[in-house]
Amino acid sequence: MTPSSKAIAACALLIVVCIGALSFWSEVRNEEDREWVTHTLLVVEKLQAIRIDITQAETGQRGYLLTGEEKYLEPYQAGRDQLDRDMAELRDQTSDNPTEQAAILRLDPLIAARLAELSGGIELRKHSGLLAGVQAVAYGNTGGKWMGQIATQIEEMRRAEDQLLSSRLGTASASTRKMKVVVVCGNALAILILLVKGLVIHRETGRRNLAELNLKHANERLERRTSELSETNIELESFAYSVAHDLRAPLRHLAGYSNVLLQDYGPQLEAQAQRNLQKIADGAQKMGSLVDDLLSLSKIGRQTLALEITALDSLLRQVVEELAHECSGRDIDWRIGELFSAECDSGLIKQVFVNLLSNAVKYTGKREHAVIEVGQTEQNDERVVFVRDNGAGFEMQYAGKLFGVFQRLHKARDFEGTGVGLAIVQRIIRKHGGRIWAEAEPGHGATFFFTLGSPEIKPATQPELTVSEEVMHV
Amino acid sequence: MSNEVEILLVDDSPEDVELTIRALRRSKIANEIQVAEDGVEALDFLFCRGSHKDRAFSHPPKLVLLDLKLPKIDGLEVLRAMRADPRTKAIPVVILTSSKEQKDVIKGYNLGVNAFVQKPVDFEQFGEAIRQIGMFWMLINQSPPPGESAESKAQGA
């Protein structure tokens, strides 16, 4: 998903969440409004009940005044009691509304005055007899006056409640209407955004499918190329095999028959003829070595590294011992330092030492006192092995050619060689993930340096192309 | 007994055959050498059939020098056939070839070859290799009894 499409999705989600929150809030408000409506109706009902209570008390009192019978005092008293309860309830119901509380405070003295009048009439009838009672009923003008005020007050309160109710209902319906607009518009917007988003996803999917298709094609091309390469590799292997078998046989015959000729007819031949025959035999011999070297070079390319922790020290000492034995007639000062241990293919690294030290022995051949030094040093946190000699050396401008196949920096007349040894060394070092380089000065010897980096994990799966490249250069 | 075949030399190159026989003769090792120029000829000789049907299994060669790249049937097939038959199973076989291709070496030993030698290009080294092979297998080594393989003999006894 691209950042823009993520933003679009987030936007739509935000709108939907907001609509949800608004709906919830509006629902809560509606609930409150409904509670208020109920409350108002309860208050109105209670006000009604209070009027009835007073009327009941009045009726009971009037009955007593006229008859003097105690039984009429019961409804009177019940009315008063009910009135007290209803007033208390009204106070409770309006406790959170100061305006209503104020109205009740205004109602209270009126009711108290009317009740006092009623009980005063009863006292008069009790102590002064029927006449006084009748007079009290007949001239009870003040009763009418109080009752009128009470009714007015209650009516006022009822109207105030009605107004409150209608204003609350108005607010509620307005907010519901607004809410409806918000919900409808918001949902429409969210749907629109999601549609746009869907369109974007559709187009992105199209692009992605196209990219995947391209990638698939690229992979197929790569696989084809890989299989072509491995075919080339197999061809190369069979080429190497036929070089080994088919080329070596005629060479062996050349060397063999010229030697047979020398053995059988040598004595009858002139010295020049013998020399020429020997040259043929030597040439065949030399070409045999070239073929063998080339084969071992290509073999290293195909070989899988057999890695193990190896003490380079002991490997080196073996090689030096063998070499020193071979050149026992010479004055060579071997200076062998301490070397580190490394994870490497010990057979191949031994080959590296053999080739480098044989070179050192060879190129110090014209020194009366040869010095060959092997040791380790450090460069950029990397451990480096060096092989130094005081031999012929070479000019640094040709250093680039040093490791090429069949590349030689010396005349065959001066120093023999096939020009494959250092190419083999370089291939082994590279296969181990290391580097090799050299420093030299003509007449003052040469120093070869190499590192053993991280060895190839799966060398077998990597097509070895350099063999054919190098063979081409030849 | 002197004309019994001591070495069967299987090689399709007349030059190699000539140089090998010369080297053997000069080190005075073998007199009776039979040459087979392809795998079929080698098997005919070993199994006493075709042009060799008059030969007897009781007189096997003391050594087979076997090249690998041969016309018709190659050297490894010859070796396989020899090792599969109790009558030829125990005859010493030395592969003598131009190549030392690792897969051939491995296959050769898996099929039960006794030695694997690459023909050196150098004439002197070649002569020396042939001399040592002849010396060891003809003179130093104790050959298996003729006919049945050593193993089946031991079981019969």
A296 CB within 8 Å of a chain B CB: no
Least confident window among A144-148, A254-258, B42-46: A144-148
Task: Give CA separation, A443 vs A175, A247, A412, A447, in Å.
Answer: 104, 38, 17, 13
CATH topology of domain B7-156: Rossmann fold (3.40.50)
Q: Which residues in chain A are contacts of B119 at CB distance < 8 A?
A: 248-249, 252
Q: Do A281 and B123 touch (CB under 8 A)?
A: yes
A285 CB within 8 Å of a chain B CB: yes
Q: Quick check: B117 and B95 in contact, CB under 8 A?
A: yes
For residue A354, what pLDDT band results from cuts at 50, 70 and 90?
very high
pLDDT digits (tens, 9 = 90+) for A356-386: 999 899 888 888 888 999 999 888 888 899 9
Helix (H, G, I), strand (E, B) or coil at A334: strand
Instruction: Please give the residue of chain A at the shortest CA–CA distance from B123.
Output: A256
Instruction: Please give the residue of chain A at the shortest CA–CA distance from B19.
Output: A256
Residue A452 in this model has a pLDDT that exceeds 80? yes
Q: Do A241 and B126 touch (CB under 8 A)?
A: no
For residue B84, what pLDDT band results from cuts at 50, 70 and 90?
very high
Least confident window among A23-32, A67-76, A197-206, A247-256: A23-32
Q: How far off is chain B from A300, nearest CA to CA, in Å?
A: 12
Helix H or strand E segment including A67:
helix A3-67
pTM above 0.95, yes or no: no
Q: Quick check: A452 and A434 in contact, CB under 8 A?
A: yes
Interface of B with A (CB under 8 A): 13, 15-16, 19, 22, 69, 97-102, 119-124, 126
Nearest alpha-carbon partner for A278 in A294, A257, A262: A262
Q: Which residues in chain B are contacts of A251 at CB distance < 8 A?
A: 121
pLDDT digits (tens, 9 = 90+) for A317-329: 989 988 888 887 8
Q: How far off is chain A from B123, nearest CA to CA, in Å?
A: 5
Whose structure tokens read 């190896």? Answer: A310
Helix (H, G, I), strand (E, B) or coil at A229: helix
Strand partners, A440: A446
Mutation target vs B (from A245, A258, A280; most B CBs, 10 A cutoff): A245
Instruction: Please give the residue of chain A at the shortest CA–CA distance from B70.
Output: A245
Strand partners, B7: B33, B63
Q: Do A252 and B121 touch (CB under 8 A)?
A: yes
Dist. CA B94–CA B83, nearest whole Å? 13
Strand partners, A275: none
pLDDT value for A469: 40
Q: Do B121 and A292 touch (CB under 8 A)?
A: yes
Q: Which residues in chain A are contacts of B70 at CB distance < 8 A?
A: none
Burial of A396 (0-12, 13-18, 19+ CB in 10 A): middle
